[in-house]
Structure 1
Amino acid sequence: MAAAKPWKTVDDMDLAGKVVLTRVDINVPMEDGRVTDMTRIERILPTVKDILAAGGKPVLLAHFGRPKGDVRADMSLGMVREALEGALGSPVKFAANCIGADAKQGVAALEAGETLLLENTRFHAEETKNDAMFAASLAALGDIYCNDAFSAAHRAHASTEAIARLLPACAGRLMQAELEALEGALGAPERPVVAVVGGAKVSTKLDLLGNLVGKADHLVIGGGMANTFLAAKGVNVGKSLCEHDLADTAREILAKAEAAGCEVILPQDVAIWDKLESRETVEYVDVNECPDDMMMLDVGPRTTAYISQTIQSAKTLIMNGPLGVFEVVPFHKGTFDMLNEIARQTNGGNLISVAGGGDTVAAINLADHGDDFSYISTAGGAFLEWMEGKTLPGVAALED
């Protein structure tokens, strides 16, 4: 029997006739006043539709850009209203402030079946300061608080943290899906667990690596990060991107992994070239044979075969970062081969796969595997902090 969740969902609340203050992330890219990527809007639709279906009145709280407390026309959420209404297929009204008379009048005029979008919370400097009085002004507008913005949950802001302590609170559908996916991947996963961590620098992912060696059975390290570990083991990495000053740190992580019984998988063979450019052919060498004037730009076929074999025996996989410079052909091959194997095992029902992070999502989409993971997080910083084992203020507030 599954353990009870420490937070409530939309299903646990009586929403009929209630004003539901719903924190969403619709910080979408715009060009010439038009939304150019609807992903974030599409992801909040299940929550808004479920609130409407239960007889609730959704009032949306959101930020847009970084106005730093200034009111800026180019960061008004009014620009997003039309796209949101079109996607939702029901009326979306707009209030020119998220507190005060405009907001109160907007809420009072809201009829059944309508949604109200409030102006950018970050037009008030008190938002990012997690100000109690500002949170109280927001809370005064509604009856229930619903947080559907996991991507903002690592920030202790008034609309993500303080407000959750002032009203009956629950997680929206997207927040619920993120938390369940991540809990399944790292909290109480089916073993063996494979973690894939890539990217340019070890320095940006020290906390992540330190946490994962205690959670995963196998840790695949790729990208420029792998070079730092290889150099720490005495391997000549030529002209490759490498943080030589972190050799001691890399050795400490390897020792910690060994003590925890976590296998660290580093490249056995690599694709090399003297400059980062697209080319027809690729040269592979053993990892110990990289010439001084060359760069390691991807993993080789022996490495991908071993990674594939490891994935085939795994039950859970969590991915943050590619194995090589996937944006430049032919140095995408190692990452794509691994993604093909993850997709095969996931679609075959053998693997729970969770991925997140900008480069990771870009690589997955480029390889056309956007529908082949169990869950892909678009949360960026919040996803990374969760993987690092940190407490997210927005989630902790729901649990309290």
Structure 2
Amino acid sequence: MGWKSLDDMDLAGKRVLVRVDINVPLKDGKVTDASRIERTTPTIRDIRAKGGSPILLAHFGRPKGKPVPEMSLSQLVPALEDAFGTEVIFVERPSREFIDAQAPDAVILVENTRFSPMEEANDPQMAQFLASLGDVYCNDAFSAAHRAHASTEGVAHLLPSCAGRLMAEELGALEKALGNPERPLTAVVGGAKVSTKLDLLSNLLDKTDYLVIGGGMANTFLAAQGVNVGTSLAEHDMADTARQILADADRKGCEIILPVDIAISPAFEAAESATYVDVSDCPDDQMILDAGPRTVEKIAEVITASKTLIMNGPLGVFELPPYHMATSAMLDCIAEQTGAGDLISVAGGGDTVAAINKAGHADDFSYISTAGGAFLEWMEGKTLPGVAALG
């Protein structure tokens, strides 16, 4: 661990710049899901308990370097005050004089950092300006840690820096899952395209004992092995790459698990019940929408034998019943093994979190990351600028 936590910092009487992720959904100017705000609460509470004053830095939406009234953070003040149980002072154009004039434990919210083009450009001038507002920098936004922006990376080099509670929790969970895992280690990777996850698959081959591949990606691997996938979503131009990945896995001792039976349908739509066939029996005019029960059985055996599991992507089209079956059954098994204390389970990515929530297992994983791009880049083995800057 090359970074400091809040416990390593003297915050008494200090103004603490805190980079947070409060990109929450809004409807008619009201927050409809405050869970991202709530996850920052331990950091804000602990900074104030240590005698510091939190100054919140955050982006909201994609304003592209210009002020956009609908993306103003001022709309989030009521939700922040509810979560923190204290007044939150919103400031559009902050200065050190303004900040020093507030109470020693005041919580201050600075307007959307992306209203300036200097933020995403990681302009040294903006980093210097932000640094002038505080005495200590605390990054609690792992979800933005893959971006080298002024508020995530630039300012971290200019002040004593540390990870917030949520960032520290996330990094600890990820280290347990992929950095120094208990073995056997299984990864579940789903999604539409192999081409978007080449870096991920290459990194996982070196680190995992089992690699379960589902979704449209599995069709590409099946097609590369000469299996007829009918009208299924598949990248036939990636056949050579898929065969190379299979050969590399064999050489590195990583067992790849692909479907042995499948749910087929003539159309991409919900149905009363699923039709299951052997993986070699997909008709020309049908598409694969899920893995079948024998595949689920094989995956359950692998999960039961594993000590650590990371998940990024569902096995089938979980949004369309009954093609959520394989994903739901796998999640039931992960939840059971985790609950019994036999498995460390970490998951992340938008579709993954949606599938877990839909299956009612949001509280049954060891850790669920709300970071999309940052979680994926970490799984790919890439250095995240916002984390590296804390070292």
Q: TM-score, normalised by structure 1?
A: 0.97
Structure 1 SS opposite 2:152: coil
Q: 1:63 aligned to 2:59?
A: yes
Q: Report deviation, 1:203.
A: 1.1
How far off its partner does 1:123 sit?
1.1
Query: For 1:67-92, what per-residue CA distance to the aligned partner results, in whole angstroms no more than 9, with x for missing partners?
Result: 11211211111111111011110111
Alignment of 1:129-278 (within 5 A): 129-278=121-270
State the distance in 1 between where 2:317 and 2:309 align.
Answer: 21
Q: After superposition, give the CA deviation of every residue in 1:336-364 in whole Å (9 maximum; x if it has no partner).
A: 00000000000000000000000000000
CA distance in 1, matches of 2:45, 2:212: 40
Deviation at 1:39, TM superposition (A): 1.4
Cα displacement string for residues 243-270 of structure 1 (whole angstroms, at most 9, x for unaligned residues): 0000001011111111110000000000
Alignment partners' CA distance in 1, 2:274 and 2:116: 53
C-alpha distance in structure 2 between counterparts of 1:330 and 1:106, whole Å: 58
DSSP 3-state at the match of 1:93? strand
The total of aligned residue pairs comes to 391
Amino acid in the other structure paired with 1:76? S
The residue aligned with 2:81 is 85
Partner SS for 1:297: strand
Output the amino acid matched with 1:46.
P
- Alignment partners' CA distance in 2, 1:68 and 1:145: 25
Structure 1 runs (4+) deviating above 4 angstroms are none
2:47 aligned residue: 51
> 1:147·1:171 contact (CA, 8 Å) conserved in 2?
yes
Instruction: Provide the residue aligned with 2:388 in structure 1.
Output: 396
Return the alpha-carbon distance in structure 2 between the equivalents of residues 306 and 69 of structure 1: 50
User: Which amino acid in structure 2 is aligned with residue 87 of structure 1?
Assistant: A
Shift of 1:103: 3.3
Q: Would you say 1:331 and 2:323 are equivalent positions? A: yes
Identity fraction in percent? 66
Distance in 2, Cα, partners of 1:110 & 1:217: 54
| Unaligned residue ranges in structure 2 (runs of 5+) | none
* AA partner of residue 376 (structure 1): I
**Partners of 1:355 and 1:361 within 8 A in 2:** yes
Partner of 2:22: 26
Q: Tell me if the contact between 1:219 and 1:263 (Cα under 8 Å) persists in the aligned partners.
A: yes
For residues 28-63 of structure 1, what are the alpha-carbon distances to aligned partners after superposition, in whole Å with 9 as ceiling and x for unaligned?
111111111111101111100100111110001111
Structure 1 residue 112: deviation in Å? Answer: 3.2
Asked whether the equivalents of residues 95 and 118 of structure 1 are also in contact (C-alpha less than 8 Å), the reply is yes
Counterpart in 2 of 1:373? 365
What secondary structure sits across from 1:384 in the alignment? helix
Instruction: Give the structure 2 partner of residue 15 of structure 1.
Output: 11
Q: Is structure 2 residue 91 aligned with structure 1 residue 95?
A: yes
Matched, 1:382 2:374: yes
Among 354, 377, 386, the residue aligned to 1:362: 354
Whole-angstrom distance in 1 between the partners of 2:218 and 2:97: 57
Alignment of 1:121 with 2:113, yes or no, is yes
- On the 8 A contact 1:200/1:223 being kept in 2, the answer is yes
Q: Secondary structure at the match of 1:70?
A: coil
Q: TM-score, normalised by structure 2?
A: 0.99
In 1, the alpha carbon distance for the partners of 2:57 and 2:97 equals: 16
What one-letter code is carried by the residue in structure 1 that aligns with 2:70?
D
Matches of 2:360 and 2:50, distance apart in 1: 36
